[in-house]
């Protein structure tokens, strides 16, 4: 019975300590605003990016495109720093296959210096396909050779292998939307 009373008393003290608010706690809550999960943030790419140079995992600089407010206070000023990660890179390939590139916003800095996590739909770019040129070079040269009675041109069918597509590219100032992943308290 003594153990039961002691446990109940310990539980009551612990609960009272956890749920008690001090004047400092309420002042802190009044000095902060809540940036809600799912808030849309528009970011801007700070540099040109190409599948020619990018590697999966590279971190890319972003900046907040327009002010974001929560409860009437600006919590993300235009120009604040953010980051994206390169998630897909495909180099251009034979027979005119285009290159491709994809990035995803991962975090942004708030006005009080916190780094908050973001999620969203990745931004992607695909280069121009040169399949027509590859097909033309691979078929027309040998066909002309056969028509002219010069079968020696048949090996030129492999020319299509040499024709590559263009790199995927994202230009500076391209916008990407991202979403706050969890509720965050930010100082005014």
Mean pLDDT, rounded, for 36-46: 95
pLDDT of amino acid 8: 44
* Burial of 11 (C-beta count, 10 Å sphere; 0-12/13-18/19+): exposed
pLDDT single digits (tens) 158-176: 555 555 677 889 999 999 9
**Cα–Cα distance, 143 to 157 (Å, whole number):** 9
Rounded to an integer, what distance in angstroms lies between the CA atom of residue 36 and that of residue 183? 5
Task: Please give the pLDDT value at position 124.
Answer: 86
Rounded Cα distance between 44 and 177, Å, is: 9
Domains, the chain, in order of start with CATH, read 35-129+165-188 (2.40.128.260), 131-164 (no CATH)
> Residue 1: its pLDDT value, please?
46
For residue 75, pLDDT beyond 70? yes
Per residue in 5-28, pLDDT tens? 444 444 444 444 444 444 455 555
CA 113/CA 160 separation, integer angstroms: 54
Q: Report the chain's mean pLDDT, rounded to a whole number.
A: 77
The answer to whether the predicted template modeling score (pTM) of the entire model surpasses 0.95 is: no
| DSSP annotation of 98 | P
Q: How far is C-alpha 149 from the geometric centre of its chain's CA atoms?
A: 56
* pLDDT tens for each residue of 76-124: 999 999 999 999 999 987 666 778 999 999 999 999 999 999 998 899 8
Are 66 and 77 within 8 A, CB to CB? no
At residue 101, the 3 state secondary structure works out as strand
Is the pLDDT at 152 greater than 60, yes or no? no
């Amino acid at each position: 019975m003594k153990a039961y009373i002691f446990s109940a008393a310990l539980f009551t003290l612990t609960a009272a300590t956890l749920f008690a608010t001090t004047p400092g706690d309420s002042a802190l809550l009044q000095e902060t605003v809540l940036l809600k999960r799912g808030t849309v943030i528009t970011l801007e790419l700070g540099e040109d990016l190409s599948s020619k140079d990018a590697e999966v995992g590279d971190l890319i600089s972003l900046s907040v495109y327009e002010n974001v407010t929560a409860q009437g206070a600006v919590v993300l000023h235009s120009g604040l720093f953010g980051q994206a990660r390169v998630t897909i890179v495909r180099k251009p390939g034979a027979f005119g296959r285009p290159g491709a590139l994809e990035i995803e916003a991962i975090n942004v800095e708030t006005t009080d210096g916190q780094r908050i996590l973001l999620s969203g739909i990745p931004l992607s770019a695909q280069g121009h396909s040169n399949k027509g040129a590859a097909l033309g070079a691979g078929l027309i040269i040998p066909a002309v050779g056969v028509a002219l009675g010069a079968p020696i041109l048949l090996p030129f069918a492999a020319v299509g292998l040499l024709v590559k597509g263009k790199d995927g590219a994202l230009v500076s100032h391209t916008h990407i939307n991202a979403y706050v992943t969890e509720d965050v308290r930010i100082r005014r």
